[in-house]
Amino acid sequence: MNPLRHLACAVVLVLCSAGGFAQAPDYQLKARAVAKDTWVIEGANDDFSRQNGCNIINTGFIATSAGTLVINTGPSRQYGEQQRKLIQRTTRQPVVAVFNLNLHPDYFFGNQAWADVPSFALPGSRRGMQAEGGAYADNLYKLCGDWMLGTESTPAARPLEPATQQWGDHQIVLKRLHGHTSDDLVLLDKSTGVVFAGGLVFANRAPTTPHADVAAWLDSLQRLEKDMADLPASLVVPSHGPVDQGRAGLAQTRRYITWLDAALRTAALQGLDLVEAMQLPLPAEFKGFAAMDAEFPRSVVHLYPAYEKKALAGDLQK
């Protein structure tokens, strides 16, 4: 553990023992049924903060006749523990597998609570978790304090290969796409039509882009939409934003990524510097997105240097 993080944990423990905290912070998680045997636990449509306990992710679970499948485990050990208790209250089917859809911390930091259950992620996601987990933890401890008490980065234990698997009465397609990150796992339930789309889809929220490949992201969204054509009345569960948006969230994400690509391309061709690119006007549709004030400048910082480099080399076209 990072020494500063160790000190932070010690301080919180002292406060707890002295009565500074009556009990561990409560995420007040609720399971919302979205289809047969299928529930989503919705997070805040926001940016990481102490106020929301860094819980900005939608996790879920599917209670098949062969056992329950958990999708994502949240931003902290406490989230994972509270998620586990909620699932136990909701279904009698034991949990038999945990799936982490990508390498970002809120997808897998609750894995500690599921140490006795096999946890899976795509190989590239596991490598990213192992390489960046410590830095993620340091950042979340700074942002969320006592919500993170006892949390250690716990990458998925087992590599996952894309496949179609029969879990009891549910036929589950585990599909590898990429673009939001280098390995984006999507879980499609052919029995219910529910699609856990991970970070490829955001709804009413600005997408995060620290590991993004814009062209690959747009291609993956197109491929995902084609795959969904064969599903019954599909419901798209984004990892961030309201589930009610459904397929509209996918189209919304495509429009935003398309606009972002075009805006940064044009800015680079015009010779704008990084600060000028951050000041580009936002289309009306995107101004109301959650976390936009933070995410758009971050996206410019992450992505714009590559556009500038291509423009200077004469390799960028309108």
Q: What are phi and psi of 183, to 5 degrees?
A: -140, 105
Question: Would you state the pLDDT for residue 5?
Answer: 53
Q: How many angstroms separate the CA atoms of 129 and 107, rounded?
A: 10
- pTM to 2 decimals? 0.92
- The tokens for 193 are 């039509």
Taking a C-beta distance cutoff of 8 angstroms, is the pair 75, 54 a contact? yes
Q: Who wins on pLDDT, 215 or 15?
A: 215
Q: How many angstroms separate the CA atoms of 291 and 169, rounded?
A: 39
Nearest CA-CA partner of 121 in 96, 143, 95, 99: 99
pLDDT in tens, 170-223: 999 999 999 999 999 999 999 999 999 999 999 999 999 999 999 999 999 999
Nearest CA-CA partner of 188 in 214, 225, 240, 215: 225
Question: Would you state the pLDDT for residue 1?
Answer: 52
Q: Does residue 14 surpass a pLDDT of 60?
A: no
Question: Would you state the pLDDT for residue 17?
Answer: 39
Helix/strand/coil percentages in the chain, nearest 5: 45, 20, 35
CATH number of the 3-9+27-313 domain: 3.60.15.10
Residues 6+ apart with CB under 8 A from 292: 206, 282, 286
Taking a C-beta distance cutoff of 8 angstroms, is the pair 144, 75 a contact? yes
Q: Does residue 12 surpass a pLDDT of 60?
A: no
Taking a C-beta distance cutoff of 8 angstroms, is the pair 265, 307 a contact? yes
Question: Would you state the pLDDT for residue 245?
Answer: 79
Nearest CA-CA partner of 123 in 157, 153, 154, 98: 157
Question: Would you state the pLDDT for residue 19?
Answer: 40
- The tokens for 164 are 């179609």
Rounded mean pLDDT of 12-39? 74
What is the three-state SS of 44-66?
A: CCCCCCCCCCCCCCCEEEEEECC
Rounded mean pLDDT of 147-156? 97
Tell me what the pLDDT averaged over the chain comes to: 92
